Amino acid sequence: MREVGNWTSAFALFIYAAAFSFAYVDLAAGTGALLLFGAVQATMILWGFRKGERLDAIQVVGLVAAVSGLVVLVFPGWKFLARRSLCRTNQHNLSCPDTS
């Protein structure tokens, strides 16, 4: 029986596993899971591009929605900036702290 595989793939898998093993020592489980699944998805999409696959329109919409959701999750401080901007004009009758 012929064995299949190569050293490049084995080394890439080792680097992948080692990086996440070391990262889990310092990262929260949610952050680690987000990075893990994001890395897997990015790898699959980029490999598909390398092999000549292209995204359909609905796949592009899904990718944009997913990346937008990721941005909202990763940068919650942007909500503060948006609220501060709205407080300057106070067009939405927000109860805003006095920033003068």
- Measured CA to CA, the distance from residue 61 to residue 55 in angstroms comes to 10
What DSSP element (H or E) covers 38? helix 29-50
Tokens 């890395």 belong to residue: 39
Contact 67, 41 (CB under 8 A): no
Q: Which amino acid is at 3?
A: E
Can you give the pLDDT at residue 14?
92
3-class SS of residue 73? helix
Per-residue model confidence as pLDDT tens for the chain (100 residues): 667 778 988 898 898 888 878 777 777 777 777 777 888 888 889 999 999 999 999 999 999 998 888 787 777 666 655 555 555 555 555 556 555 5
